[in-house]
């Protein structure tokens, strides 16, 4: 079986819906435990997934590999590609070879290069098409991604029929209440970075079980949220100090908003209407600072 996608995790995710139970159990375990999958032997993976060595090999072939050995090697290569650049950066920073902001720019550039490599144009196009056809778009981010999700929902709101922001106020309980009416014509865009929020997984699973299309914006195809998504967009977030870097997630959000604007045939009129509404509150002169606040 030949597959176009070079990422072993994406290959597993693509074939998972078509697999018989024994193979699906192995695929599910590998998607949730990618690091262990690259390290353990076939017998250990079979035992951990409640399957058999034969099933592990059959799954590898279904994903386009000659067998488990080739699949394991592909997993190891992908994980090394994610970890090695950051390890090099950490080593460089420990020697203090670079001063701010140069070292921070290198950290961001490493993640940006990975995002360009791992995010296909067709994935963005499909996500935008799904958003444009939705009756309602829910945007969810909890913890580290709460404010980014709120920015994304605000930026999308003028160009889609209905955008509902979840998570910024009221936490999980409020988000769950707003999500009760979700259905087959709706889309949930869920953002998740380490440290991952368990509540985000539960809300995404609820939305998907009720027929909504779930778009996951995550740091890696192995992120827990990816298992509950119909579409996955990757924004690498490795950082030697912070729990996660936000640079790629913000850029990915901007890409989505820009492409939604381009796809909306009324975007120019919307922008003109918005400018008419807010122009009296804007200023272009320093002398305006003495004017009363309106």
Q: 54: domain CATH number?
A: 1.10.10.10
- Residue 219 belongs to a domain with what CATH number? 3.40.50.10490
The four Cα atoms 177, 205, 7, 78 give a dihedral, to 10 degrees, of 80
- Which residues, given as ranges, of the chain have pLDDT below 70? 1-5, 80-99, 168, 284-294
Q: Is 142:169 a contact under the CB 8 Å cutoff?
A: no
Q: Is residue 12 part of a domain?
A: yes
Tell me whether residue 138 is in a domain: yes
Q: How many domains does the chain have?
A: 3
Residue 71 within any structural domain of the chain:
yes
Q: Are residues 45 and 66 in the same domain?
A: yes
**Bond prior to 195 in cis (omega within 30° of 0):** yes
Domain range enclosing 71:
8-75
Instruction: Examine the domain organization and report whether 125 and 110 are in the same domain.
Output: no
The reply to whether 140 falls in a domain is yes
Predicted pLDDT at 144: 84
Query: In 210-264, which ranges are continuous DSSP H helix?
Result: 247-263
Tell me, yes or no, whether 290 lies in a domain: no
Same-domain pairing of 249 and 139: yes
* Residue 294, domain member (yes or no): no
β-strand partners of 188: 138, 214
pLDDT digits (tens, 9 = 90+) for 99-125: 678 888 888 998 999 898 878 899 999
Does one domain contain both 263 and 246? yes
The separation between CA 141 and the C-alpha centre of its own chain, rounded to angstroms, equals 11
Same domain, 96 and 138: no
Flag whether 154 is in a domain.
yes
Instruction: Look up residue 224 and give its DSSP letter.
Output: G
CA dihedral over 119, 122, 214, 5, signed as positive or negative: negative
Q: Tell me the two tokens of residue 57.
A: 């090999």
Quick one: CA torsion of 249, 250, 254, 257, rounded to 10 degrees? 70
Q: Are residues 133 and 232 in the same domain?
A: yes
Q: What is the pLDDT of residue 1?
A: 46
Of the candidates 153, 243, 144, the one whose C-alpha atom is nearest the C-alpha of residue 197 is 144
Using DSSP's 3-state secondary structure scheme, residue 216 falls into strand
Please check whether residues 197 and 217 belong to one and the same domain: yes
Q: Flag whether 47 is in a domain.
A: yes
Q: Quick one: 186 exposed, middle or buried, by C-beta within 10 A (0-12, 13-18, 19+)? A: buried
């Amino acid at each position: 079986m030949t597959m176009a996608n070079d990422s072993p995790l994406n290959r597993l995710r693509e074939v998972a819906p078509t697999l018989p139970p024994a193979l699906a159990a192995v695929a599910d375990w590998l998607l949730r435990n990618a690091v262990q999958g690259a390290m353990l032997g076939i017998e250990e993976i079979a035992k951990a997934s409640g399957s058999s060595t034969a099933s592990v090999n059959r799954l590898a072939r279904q994903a386009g590999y000659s067998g488990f050995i080739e699949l394991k090697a592909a997993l190891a290569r992908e994980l090394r590609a994610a970890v090695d650049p950051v390890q090099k950066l950490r080593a460089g920073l420990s020697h203090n070879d670079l001063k701010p902001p140069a070292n921070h720019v290198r950290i961001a550039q490493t993640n940006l290069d990975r995002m360009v490599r791992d995010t296909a144009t067709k994935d963005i196009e499909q996500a935008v098409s799904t958003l444009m056809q939705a009756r309602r778009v829910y945007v969810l981010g909890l913890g580290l991604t709460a404010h980014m999700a709120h920015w994304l929902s605000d930026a999308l709101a003028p160009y889609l029929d209905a955008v509902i922001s979840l998570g910024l106020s009221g936490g999980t309980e409020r988000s769950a209440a707003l999500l009760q009416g979700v259905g087959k014509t709706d889309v949930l865009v869920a953002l998740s970075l380490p440290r991952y929020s368990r509540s985000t997984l539960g809300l995404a699973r609820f939305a998907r079980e009720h027929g909504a299309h779930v778009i996951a914006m995550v740091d890696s195809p192995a992120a827990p949220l990816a298992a509950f998504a119909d579409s996955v967009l990757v924004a690498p977030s490795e950082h030697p100090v912070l729990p996660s870097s936000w640079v790629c997630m913000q850029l990915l959000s901007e890409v989505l908003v820009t492409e939604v604007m381009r796809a909306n045939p009324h975007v120019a009129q919307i922008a003109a209407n918005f400018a008419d509404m807010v122009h009296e509150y804007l200023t272009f002169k320093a002398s305006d600072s003495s004017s009363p606040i309106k």
